[in-house]
Amino acid sequence: MGPAGGPLWRIPRWQGPRDPKGAVRRADLLPAAGRGVHRSRGCAAILRGLRGREGGLHPGGLEVSRFGAAILGCAGERLTAEEKSLYAEMKPFGFILFARNLADADQIRALCDELRSAAGFEAPVFIDQEGGRVQRLRPPLARDFAPPLAEADTGARAFWLRARIIAHELRGLGIDGNCIPTLDVARDQTHAILRNRCYGTDVATVVANGRAVAEGLLAGGVLPVMKHMPGHGLGTLDSHKDLPRVAAEPEALRAVDFAPFAALSDLPLAMTAHLVFEAIDPRPATVSERMVRLIREEIGFGGLLMTDDISMEALSGTVADRGRAALAAGCDVVLHCNGDLPEMRALAEVCRTMEPAAQTRAEAALAARRTPDAVDIDALNAEFDALIA
């Protein structure tokens, strides 16, 4: 456990001294003997889970996974009996919503409650609410925003306001995770499916705007998920349909594509990219042990690493094969979006248990959720409007 009084957990910059939930403290560690748990050699304590429940880590070899290693979608506006049964059995780490799941405010809140009830814990519910073309919630449920690249030069304050307003809208509906910031650096050749979703055409602008978005979401009680790690800006194909290949040398990638992710490596969650970096590994990054090791060791990301949607056609094999390969490569969680029940059942067979290190990162990500800061949302909207005018 280390020297008495030493740090038990790295506290990222976004977890300030007034946010003690962001750290694992000595009070969170229960002596194994004191809980009547048989302790294997090397076990000093049990990590307390959220709300005082015992968590899923035991360094002596006993593994009790509190989560399934998946984030799942659902088919419609309410859960079916079959979906409820699957989620109750699997206990996925979280869920993700799409336009097919969204009718009105009461329905969305009820669906979020159903999802968490089925999972048996306060599972995060994610969405892609980027602004522009990728914005699952539309008026009157949420404000329309321009594509991020169109406003890249408005400054970090405008991007913070944008994210804080979005967070306010999401939390009001029961949604507490958003798959932004998008840290891919836009180029002339970036595929149109992605380009105007980027935050800038240079590293400094992407980093400044991306940091502002992450902090705006966190201030509003919403978990940010940076994407598409380690960088999709050189992709010239749509990875929903094809596998992009990038020929750039590692030195060039480090200078531009990897740099924004390294600058924001303290964030709690990130999403991988389905593309090949030919000079590093012939396999897509999502299923490449070498690329995941680069994300961990070179870029320095220590948070929860989820895949991009595992059902996208950039990857080959069955959904179960893809999920198995992603976990074997070192991803923590497999994202499956389309709500197809047979596919989710097949995926459950390979994602039923979260690895101990992933469980640690999952608990840390959940601990980053906080009560939103009090704001005058009308004043924030007015300030944002003035900045983009």
The set of catalytic residues is: 240, 308
Cβ burial 178-211 (10 Å sphere, 16+ → b, else e): bbbbbbbbbeeebbebbbbbbbbbebebbbbbbb
Extract the tokens encoding 49.
């889970």
Residue 92 phi/psi, 5-degree rounding, is -60, 150
**Do 194 and 188 form a contact (C-beta atoms < 8 A)?**
no
Quick check: 370 and 343 in contact, CB under 8 A? no
What is residue 227's three-state secondary structure?
A: strand
For 21, 350, 362, the CA distances from 130, given in Å and listed in that order, are 27, 30, 23
Report d(CA 87, CA 149) in Å as an integer.
37
Report whether 120 contacts 91 (CB < 8 A): yes
Cα gap 202→37, rounded to integer Å: 53
Residue type for position 265: S
The candidate with the shortest Cα–Cα distance to 174, out of 222, 213, 103, 225, is: 222
Tokens 């229960």 sit on residue: 30
3-state secondary structure at position 59: coil
- Count CA atoms closer than 13 A to 235's CA, side-chain side: 30
